[in-house]
Structure 1
Amino acid sequence: MSEVVIPADAVVPVVASGRQKLYRRVLKNPMAVVSLVILALVVLSAVFAGQITGWDPGRADLNDALAPPFGEHLLGADASGRDVLARLFFGARVSLIGALIALATALAIGIPTGLIAGYFQGWFDSLSSWFASLLMAMPGLIVVLALISVIGPGMVGVMVTFGALLSPGVFRLTRSGVVSVRRELYIDAAKVSGLSDYRIISRHVLGVIRAPLVIQASMIAGIAIVLQAGLEFLGVGDSSTASWGQMLSEAFSNIYVAPTMILWPGLIIGLTVGSLAIFGAALRDTVQGAEPARKTRRRKPTNEEETSTRRLDLSTAATAAVISPRDGGQEDIEPSDALLVVRDLQVGYPQPDGSTTIVVDGVSLHVDRGEVLGLVGESGSGKSQTAFSILGLLPDTGAILGGTISFAARTIASADGAAHGAAALRGRQFGYIPQEPMSNLDPSFTLGFQLVEPMRHILGLSRPAAKTKALELLDRVGIADPRRTFDAYPHEVSGGMAQRVLIAGAVACDPELLIADEPTTALDVTVQAEVLDLLRGLQRERSMGMIMVTHNFGVVADICDRVAVMQAGRLVEQADALELFDDPHNPYTRMLLSSTLEDTEPRAARSTRPVSSRGTAR
């Protein structure tokens, strides 16, 4: 095999340019601008508090006790005659510094440990996950109160402790993001090109998880401000320094005498925390908006480079670790934030003699966000029945006899019939691409009508807006003349074009999970390749989870990240796609592969075989 050099840093100029223009995209978001202005005013008032107001926040004058606003004291005075505005500005220093300490502590602990655990996994992953679960089980407020009784009400120690208690959330978010991208082909390509693990993590991995970390950081800062104010309100803080919590406590004790006093600290806390949340969400959306440009600006490889790269990826599959146990295939260790989780699913059909035929028996699998799972098996293996169970589309005679199906941590189907959430998710969170395109289009209506109506019903769009979006989707799925196709009836288009229309309809309402049931079976080879490229492109653009139901391992090799192999209603093997092709464990999987590959030297006949991460020859 000829040596292939993969330019892993090809996207660096694009990313750098995007970072330079990040502030411009932020300033185009009105919500971000408003929240940023409020935060800037709060910070500036804290920094220049002494120059803005001439009052000492600790100076008491009983002659001015409970002075009303808009007199000598602009916002009035408290029960001790201290200026409210001065205490408000100087108190901002305590709250902002405390929030910064808690945030820095949580990020300093959570991000590095999450990156290492998600990327390298192994014993560190197990140990750090155990510690994270232990910290999350602790009652945070009680721990902080106990600490104050031991070390005193010092702000630094209290906020460092609180930041440590918040770090498991950052750890889990970081780890799950790393786990979802560490198997991507561009990560393997970066390893092959010789980049160090540190460079891969800092450049290729960290950039993927920065958007969710932004919103997490804003939430932590807001929670820290509220917690510190709550502690001061309870009287367990440092009473020698002005703070928003102390002002709330004093105002509450005089609420019947001077009710306006409670307005000012409550207003500033609400504005600050709300602005942090809004700015974090706006910044997250801005960062995410830069990701498509990063992907679309990548250099397109030539046919020769693409073929060599695919062979190289397959030959270096030893760099990938096994996600879930493969022998037997039934145990499935899903991440805590998996999009779809199927546990011990059993589906059966009653027979006239009173018996029950089991068609799906104890299937457990999961699909992560942005992941494509291939569900493979011969006809009658139960793969379509599994997909229909997820969609809630089993025939009336079929029933789920055991197990559960959960979507986004919510149970949508179970054996007891208590949960029936799949119907409400279809067309919204669930998209479906059927096997026969012509049979799934109504010949009585135009293709445009069949695209527009679901969007009007589910998204609440007007007819013109829905038509505009439908035309954009038809153009995106590669239809040359979208307007003509929009007005056409199903019998006026080809099978490949009809399948593209169905794909457009499946993603029209922005689903989170797309289930494709043999989407290329009825198409010729050339159209099959185009449809698969289209599906992969749409799935990546929208970060959808996807289940590809197929019997064709060629389709699996082209589009899937992980593979679950089914035989006679049971899962016999689950593995990363690259590893399964390179080293199938189950005899049934090997049989399917041997019957699929054509004009290829059998693996057993290879004279040289790379060594896997398990230490065995492949």
Structure 2
Amino acid sequence: MSGTATSATTPATFLRRIIGNVQALLSLLVLLVILTLVALAPLVAGPDPTSADLSSAFGGPEPGHPLGFDSSGRDMWSRLLHGGQLTLGGAALALAVALTLGVPTGLAAGFYGGWFDLVSGWWVNLIMALPAMVVLLASRAVLGSTVWVLMVVLGILVSPSFFRLVRGTVANMRAEPYVDAARVFGLRDSRIIARHVLIVVRAPIIIQTALVAGLAINLQAGLEFLGIGSGDAPTWGAMLNEAFTNIHQNPLGMLWPGLALGLTSGSLVLLASALRDVLEDRDDQPHTSGPGEHPREADTPTTPRHAGARSELLSVRDLTITYPGADSRPNKVVRGVDLDVHPGEILGLVGESGSGKTQTAFSILGLLPAGGRVSRGSIRIGGTEVVGANERTLRRLRGRTVAYVPQEPMNNLDPSFTIGDHLVEPLCATARMPRSAAWKYARELLHQVEITDPDRILRSYPHQISGGMAQRVLIAGALSCSAELVIADEPTTALDVTVQAEVLGLLRRLRASRGMAVLLVSHDLGVVADLCDRVAVLHRGRIVEVGTTEQVLTAPESTHAQELRNAVLDDVPARQPWSPREVDAQ
């Protein structure tokens, strides 16, 4: 690793953990011995496995023939090793088909849902309803008895097990806040799936892979044992069939193929279980740069960007958001909202819970929950229309022009990755930085959000830092690509009073140093009075008042704004009205 800490297990760490896990080590050694002998069968097996000598029928072990001979005088050692090539190769083919069909479709169905989920679910249910043995027998009659063809059919029949496993896991996590946070950073869906989703499903996939591999091996052996297979070709199932027929003359004939099947299947299951434990285990202190490794210098964005001649960085007009109602009539949760945020301004969007604040913020980000849609209106960020924009346009805006600081910092950090991973990945994907330069810039970002020990924090996992520290990390992430507008959704709600004050002071200093604009979503008038230049009051999905912080908090005109002010127990001094000259002076 060049200067970065990562949650992905390095080859050296992975090997060290395998060696330290007795179950993994022993089962891996058994499998390696079996696979090596099978792969080297032409070199170590001896005679041709199909060469028969009736004078040696049922003969015992002798030099050059360690397992003796079967009823036709064929060398059992040679047949065992060559038979392993067909048996294990056929199982590998079935497994490859099942993984290829089941995992990608399960990921897509679980992550996107919609019509693809419905159609693929219907096909999966249809395949699962088919009796596997009957289908294999019919396939043999139609397609022939070649083992490879039967294994492709078997792979199709068992692919639903991967689909259902992956689809169920992904569907449960697609609404996780850290998935939305990754979208806000501008990551593509494919990158989110590869980075955040696959790491969640890898352990169950490993277990399922071992189970399906064992099933394929034993089902193929069962078909061969019943005489439904590749004829005279040596396989472990065919050897069992021959030995069972002549069990009275040569009882040991069943031992060797049965032992090969048992050792292979058992080792697969034990190895998969151990690998799951190895992959899910993480060191308490993640690894970082090795001695002498230093990130190289690179050009990094350090100056704030502005919206040019456009006076409004964010312009929302007649925004209406609807959800399906219980009686099939649309339920409007936001109604005709108009908002403007200027470069360098902090605008507070306030209102009681359920007033539509968060829905408005999510619509600006293009991340409305399932079922929600902008039914009317316009949202322009830096002159770009968001409503109806495709995903590519939204990715160009997220992270670069608009960033997001969520309400629950811990829920928006993937527990499988270090803090360094969370900051470095968007820089590599969105800003196209080399990883070493991104790592250095991430350290600088943590300095900017006043974290005094950035190296330790970068190496830490989310559970190893406090909530206030996690919120600073998310603010650093919002700053990482020099976004002009930061949407902060209740950024201090989950924090205690002391940490709240620190975070608010940090946002104020960052606005002064970077000239960034902030849309602060909050129900806390104390926070609004301390931080905001202007305030927009939202009530039942409508804007009922907009004005300077001093005007709204000291002399509100709307009834609802008066009720909000009266609900505050202490008198909070309001900020002076904001002026664009403040940004120009910076």
In the superposition, the TM-score normalised over structure 2's length comes to 0.52
- For 2:181 and 2:119, locate their aligned partners in 1 and report how far apart those are by CA, in whole Å: 29
2:270 to 271, 278, 294: 278
Residue number in structure 1 paired with 2:370? 322
1:95 partner letter: T
- For 1:120 and 1:12, locate their aligned partners in 2 and report how far apart those are by CA, in whole Å: 32
Matched, 1:602 2:502: no
- 1:6-405 maps to which residues of 2 (within 5 A)? 13-16=5-8, 18=10, 20-70=12-62, 73-290=65-282, 315-316=361-362, 319=367, 321-322=369-370
Per-residue deviation, 1:135: 1.1
Residue number in structure 1 paired with 2:520? none
Per-residue deviation, 1:236: 0.9
SS in 1 for 2:6: helix
- Greater RCO, 1 or 2 (C-alpha within 8 Å, sep 6+): 2
What CA deviation, in whole Å up to 9, does each residue of 1:175-207 have, x standing for no partner?
A: 122112222222111111111111111112112
SS in 2 for 1:15: coil
SS in 1 for 2:281: helix
What CA deviation, in whole Å up to 9, does each residue of 1:298-346 have, x standing for no partner?
A: xxxxxxxxx99x999982275254389xxxxxxxxxxxxxxxxxxxxxx
2:270 partner letter: I
Say if 1:215 and 1:292 are closer, same or farther in 2 by CA, change over 3 A. farther
Identity of aligned residues (%): 40
Paired positions, count: 336
Per-residue deviation, 1:18: 4.0
SS in 2 for 1:602: strand
What CA deviation, in whole Å up to 9, does each residue of 1:157-181 have, x standing for no partner?
A: 1111101111111011111221122
What CA deviation, in whole Å up to 9, does each residue of 1:473-496 have, x standing for no partner?
A: xxxxxxxxxxxxxxxxxxxxxxxx
Say if 1:202 and 1:68 are closer, same or farther in 2 by CA, change over 3 A. same
SS in 2 for 1:256: coil
SS in 2 for 1:319: coil
Say if 1:17 and 1:31 are closer, same or farther in 2 by CA, change over 3 A. closer
SS in 2 for 1:73: coil
Say if 1:64 and 1:605 are closer, same or farther in 2 by CA, change over 3 A. same
1:283 partner letter: L
Say if 1:171 and 1:295 are closer, same or farther in 2 by CA, change over 3 A. farther
What CA deviation, in whole Å up to 9, does each residue of 1:188-246 have, x standing for no partner?
A: 11111111111111112112111111111111111000011001001010013110000
SS in 1 for 2:52: coil
SS in 1 for 2:157: helix
What CA deviation, in whole Å up to 9, does each residue of 1:351-397 have, x standing for no partner?
A: xxxxxxxxxxxxxxxxxxxx99xxxxxxxxxxxxxxxxxxxxxxxxx
- For 1:244 and 1:69, locate their aligned partners in 2 and report how far apart those are by CA, in whole Å: 19
What CA deviation, in whole Å up to 9, does each residue of 1:524-544 have, x standing for no partner?
A: xxxxxx99999xxxxxxxxxx
Report the more deviating stretch, 77-86 or 286-295.
286-295
Does the 8 Å CA contact 1:189/1:313 hold for their aligned counterparts?
no
- For 1:295 and 1:314, locate their aligned partners in 2 and report how far apart those are by CA, in whole Å: 41
Structure 1: stretches of 5+ with no match in the other structure: 1-9, 298-306, 325-370, 373-529, 535-553, 560-595, 609-618
Report the more deviating stretch, 58-67 or 134-143.
134-143
1:602 partner letter: L
Report the more deviating stretch, 103-112 or 64-73.
64-73
1:24 partner letter: R
Q: Which has the larger radius of gyration?
A: 2
SS in 2 for 1:194: coil
